[in-house]
């Protein structure tokens, strides 16, 4: 325990000595203060004493609490903590292991009555302290802002601490492994950022493919509905035509004659009767073919991403836990009715941006926690174990 | 019954991944309470051996004990103090914080750490700098702080790797005093240094390592046993051939390896020879070296010289210094040239054997 406390104190002193730690803390404070300066009114958004009228963004569309939560989730977490904050944290902690392993420094640590594995894990978890402290302070201050300004106390905001911490840990484990392998801060930092960019690229590609898949699926659904509607209409038209062509029955026997059974038409009969039906059916087949292609691609990417950490999805978990669909159900952005621009707008089948957002949001919320966290933590465990084995077996 | 040795190593070998054989079957025993000096040229394996003791390097093969526990036992390190060569303390810590941190890492309770740190800072003359960050320290101050951290947890065994490296003469004297105090307190000290004069002044025993092997080990007296010789200095230069003619029974022949091992190098030696009794002589223009500690033999030689009218300026006894022993150890006996520094290539060793 004495050794663990000493390492904890040392990690704090190391952070304390880094200017970047305090710069990040100061910037976090500024972000929180700027949250406090922004508000939502009946007519739009207020900044300090000034009011900016926004038609689609005011307290009639969403509550102040939702507004602050949106600010916290979209700017505070997704932008500030999950991007800039993480980059600053990586810069601050990338040198932790290379410095620790430097000649003359590691000798002093390894020659103590402490096992290499314990030393490694303690040091590793101390590295996570940077982000934990930063996010902790930021989240607590944001919770106060949401409580005071939005009149809603949201302890779920504090979920940012473990979730952003986890996201950082996926990158920090890579940074640690690279730091141990190369013993170079610059190499560890640059390669980790490269890995992060790779993850981001993979995630973005996957999102694009999923969006294309869902767009195609939505078009297929609309087409199928349209075909059903057209088939019903065509059948009715054929029924009417048949009824008109049928000779009139005897006046004496008409009362006793049973009602004729409804006629079932074949697709060919319907297509013959309605020239638009074969056209839309051909389009449907083409869309179904496209859907199978997108499904193959998303499956392939899913398999490729299975073994990798889900940084973006981990942050989305926080977003999803903070913002419920009903919170923003009345919110409608000005261009939401437009097609999201995914192509295939050569016909009158229209999938709006709002529809796509809802679909993607549902998919994001339906993604199992065990998949996001399990695979990411699995990756982290493997990387940390590899780093630990190298550390414990290396000669210094 | 004698106390068990502080360090008792046998068959320690280390071959690095690049197939460099740093240690070759090293066996060494260091007694409790003694100051033991480990010396050798660069790449001899001294630091590797020390790092194996401190679990910084894993041996390829090793057996033996450190303070009664098997080599590599982590718990035992709570009783061992270590100052690595080129040590590097966290720059953001102050001197007092360094001692507190490393004391805690050696499992010292907080209350003890505070008082011990103050005491040691005073001992190493760093009290005034206790609250200053390490980054503001000079090399000598860092070295003093390094010794203090090695002693922080009152270890039974202290391993100092180049403790006087970069330290001025006054600092060296102070460090020497500290080592002597450690011995007085009953601690065992393993001193690894290039500064042979330093070792000579404080070490009870020394071990010389060359190319991954301990070539000689013992007290200075033991190591120089049989290597005493006398220098007879003439007033005027004398031709070597003439001197040979004055020494009855002397056979002129080249000096074999080992004879006059501790004497200065052969620069200026004109001739050398040997009597049947096994006593060797070296003849120089201004003096002659008689390879014996037997004074009677020396006076007989002096008499032969004086009988011919040669004026004797001085007769003095000489014994090899640690430096002489070191030079002797790192000199190839066949060629008389210094051995190539560095460790052995495992492939070459294999081929040679």
Closest-CA distance, A391 to chain B, in angstroms, reads 11
Residue of B nearest to A4 (CA): B105
Nearest to B105 among A104, A105, A114 (CB): A114
Confidence of residue B353 (pLDDT cuts 50, 70, 90): very low
Q: Which of B57, B50, B55, B53 is nearest to B20 (CA)?
A: B57
In whole angstroms, what is the distance from residue B107 CA to residue A4 CA? 10
Nearest to A396 among B16, B57, B105 (CB): B57
pLDDT at A338: 61
Residue numbers of chain A with a pLDDT score lower than 70:
248-262, 328-347
pLDDT at A346: 53
Tell me the chain B residues in contact with residue A110 when contact means C-beta distances shorter than 8 Å.
Answer: 54-56
Q: Which residues of A220-233 are buried (b: 16+ CB within 10 A; e: fewer)?
A: bebbeebbeebbee
Nearest to B74 among A13, A16, A113 (CB): A113
Is the Cβ pair A13, B93 closer than 8 Å? yes
How does the average pLDDT of chain B come out, rounded?
86
User: Based on the number of CB atoms within 10 Å of its own CB, is A195 exposed (0-12), middle (13-18) or buried (19 or more)?
Assistant: middle
Tell me the chain A residues in contact with residue B97 when contact means C-beta distances shorter than 8 Å.
Answer: 13
Do β-strands B20-30 and B344-345 pair in parallel, antiparallel, or remain unpaired? Answer: antiparallel
Confidence of residue B351 (pLDDT cuts 50, 70, 90): very low
Residue of A nearest to B57 (CA): A395
What residues have CB less than 8 Å from A391, skipping those under 6 apart? Answer: A116, A120, A180
Tell me the chain B residues in contact with residue A114 when contact means C-beta distances shorter than 8 Å.
Answer: 74, 105
Please indicate whether residue A134 or residue B9 has the higher confidence score (pLDDT): B9
Please indicate whether residue B225 or residue B285 has the higher confidence score (pLDDT): B285
For residue B187, the surrounding DSSP H or E stretch is none
Structure tokens at A261: 């059974």
Average pLDDT over residues B287-315: 92
Q: Which CATH number fits domain B228-318: 3.30.70, 1.20.120, 3.30.310, 3.90.700?
A: 3.30.310
Tell me the chain A residues in contact with residue B56 when contact means C-beta distances shorter than 8 Å.
Answer: 106-107, 110-111, 395-396
Cβ of A1 under 8 Å from any chain B Cβ?
Answer: no
Nearest to B54 among A7, A16, A111 (CB): A111
Q: Which of B214, B178, B172 is nearest to B196 (CA)?
A: B172
pLDDT at A322: 78
> DSSP code of A46?
E
Cβ of A105 under 8 Å from any chain B Cβ?
Answer: yes
- Asked if the B7-223 domain carries CATH number 2.40.30.30, the reply is no
Whether the Cβ atoms of residue B15 and residue B60 lie closer than 8 Å to each other: yes
Tell me the chain B residues in contact with residue A115 when contact means C-beta distances shorter than 8 Å.
Answer: 74
Whether the Cβ atoms of residue B270 and residue B240 lie closer than 8 Å to each other: yes
pLDDT at A52: 86
A84: Cα within 13 Å, side-chain hemisphere: 13
pLDDT at B76: 93
pLDDT at B324: 78
Nearest to B77 among A5, A103, A111 (CB): A111
pLDDT at A111: 93
- The pLDDT tens digits of the residues spanning B256-267 come to 656 665 565 556
Structure tokens at B322: 């640690």
- The pLDDT tens digits of the residues spanning B172-215 come to 888 888 899 999 999 999 998 877 877 888 899 999 888 898 98
Is the Cβ pair B86, A103 closer than 8 Å? yes
Cβ of A22 under 8 Å from any chain B Cβ?
Answer: no
What residues have CB less than 8 Å from B323, skipping those under 6 apart? Answer: B196, B197
Q: Where in chain B is the domain with CATH 3.30.310?
A: 228-318
pLDDT at B344: 59
Tell me the chain A residues in contact with residue B100 when contact means C-beta distances shorter than 8 Å.
Answer: 6
In whole angstroms, what is the distance from residue A63 CA to residue A49 CA? 19
Q: What is the pTM of this model?
A: 0.79
Q: How many CB pairs under 8 A join A and B?
A: 88
Average pLDDT over residues B293-300: 90
Say if residue B334's pLDDT is above 70.
Answer: no
Closest-CA distance, B112 to chain A, in angstroms, reads 12
pLDDT at B9: 93
Q: Where in chain B is the domain with CATH 3.40.50.300?
A: 7-223
Nearest to B90 among A10, A115, A396 (CB): A10
pLDDT at A382: 97
In whole angstroms, what is the distance from residue A297 CA to residue A331 CA? 33
């Amino acid at each position: 325990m004495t050794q663990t406390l000493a390492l904890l104190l040392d990690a704090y002193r190391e952070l304390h000595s880094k200017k970047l730690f305090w710069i990040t803390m100061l910037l976090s404070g500024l972000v929180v203060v700027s949250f406090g300066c922004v508000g939502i009114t009946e007519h739009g958004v207020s900044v300090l004493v000034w009011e900016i009228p926004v038609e689609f963004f005011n307290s009639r569309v969403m509550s102040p609490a939702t507004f602050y939560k949106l600010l916290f989730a979209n700017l505070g977490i997704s932008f500030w903590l999950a991007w800039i904050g993480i980059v600053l944290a990586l810069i601050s902690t990338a040198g932790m292991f290379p410095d620790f392993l430097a000649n003359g420094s590691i000798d002093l640590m390894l020659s103590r009555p402490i096992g290499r594995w314990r030393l490694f894990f303690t040091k590793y978890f101390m590295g996570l302290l940077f982000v934990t402290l930063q996010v902790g302070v930021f989240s607590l201050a944001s919770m106060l802002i949401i409580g005071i300004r939005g009149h809603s106390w949201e302890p779920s905001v504090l979920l940012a601490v473990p979730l952003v911490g986890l996201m950082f840990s996926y990158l920090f484990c890579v940074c640690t492994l690279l730091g141990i392998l190369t013993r170079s801060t610059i190499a560890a930092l640059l390669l980790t950022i490269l890995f992060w960019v790779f993850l981001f690229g993979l995630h973005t590609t996957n999102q694009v493919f999923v969006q294309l898949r869902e767009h195609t699926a939505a078009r297929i659904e609309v087409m199928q509905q349209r075909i059903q509607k057209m088939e019903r209409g065509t059948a009715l038209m054929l029924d009417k035509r048949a009824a008109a062509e049928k000779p009139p029955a005897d006046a004496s026997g008409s009362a006793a004659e049973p009602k004729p059974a409804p006629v079932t038409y074949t697709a060919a009969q319907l297509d013959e009767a309605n020239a638009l039906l074969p056209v839309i059916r051909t389009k449907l087949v083409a869309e179904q073919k496209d859907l199978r292609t997108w499904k193959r691609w998303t499956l392939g990417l899913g398999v490729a991403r299975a073994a990798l950490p889900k940084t973006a999805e981990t942050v989305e978990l926080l977003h999803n836990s903070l913002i419920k669909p009903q919170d923003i159900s009345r919110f409608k952005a000005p261009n939401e009715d437009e097609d999201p621009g995914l192509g295939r707008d050569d016909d009158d089948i229209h999938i709006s941006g709002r529809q796509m957002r809802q679909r993607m949001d549902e998919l994001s919320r339906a993604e199992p926690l065990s998949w996001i966290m399990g695979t990411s933590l699995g990756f982290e465990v493997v990387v940390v174990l590899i780093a630990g084995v190298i550390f414990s077996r290396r000669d210094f | 019954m004698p106390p068990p040795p502080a360090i008792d190593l046998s068959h320690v070998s280390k071959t690095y991944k690049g197939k460099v054989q740093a240690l070759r079957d090293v066996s060494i025993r260091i007694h409790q309470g003694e100051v033991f000096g480990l010396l050798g040229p660069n790449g001899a394996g001294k630091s590797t051996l020390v790092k194996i003791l401190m679990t910084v390097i894993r041996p390829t093969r090793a057996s033996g004990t450190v303070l009664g526990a098997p080599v590599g036992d982590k718990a035992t390190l709570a009783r061992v103090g270590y100052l690595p060569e080129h040590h590097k303390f966290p720059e953001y810590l102050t001197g007092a914080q360094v001692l507190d941190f490393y004391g805690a890492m050696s499992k010292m309770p907080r209350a003890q750490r505070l008082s011990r740190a103050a005491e040691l800072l005073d001992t190493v003359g760093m009290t005034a700098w206790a609250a200053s960050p390490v980054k503001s320290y000079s090399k000598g101050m860092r070295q003093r702080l390094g010794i203090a951290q090695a002693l922080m947890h009152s270890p039974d065994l202290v391993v100092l790797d180049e403790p006087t490296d970069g330290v001025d003469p006054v600092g060296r004297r102070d460090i020497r005093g500290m080592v002597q105090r450690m011995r007085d307190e009953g601690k065992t000290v393993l001193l690894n240094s290039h500064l042979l004069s330093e070792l000579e002044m404080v070490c009870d025993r020394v071990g010389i390592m060359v190319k991954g092997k301990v070539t000689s080990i013992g007290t200075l007296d033991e190591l120089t046993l049989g290597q005493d010789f006398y220098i007879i200095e003439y007033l005027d230069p004398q031709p070597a051939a003439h001197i040979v003619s004055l020494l009855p029974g002397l056979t002129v022949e080249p000096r074999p390896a080992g004879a006059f091992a501790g004497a200065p190098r052969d620069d200026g030696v004109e001739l050398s020879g040997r009597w049947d009794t096994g006593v060797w002589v070296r003849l120089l223009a201004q003096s002659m070296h008689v390879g014996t500690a037997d004074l009677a033999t020396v006076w007989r030689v002096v008499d032969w010289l004086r009988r011919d009218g040669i004026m004797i300026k001085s007769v003095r006894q000489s014994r090899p210094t640690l430096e002489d022993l070191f030079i002797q150890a790192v000199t190839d006996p066949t060629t008389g040239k210094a051995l190539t520094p560095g460790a052995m290539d495992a492939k070459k060793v294999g081929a040679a054997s």
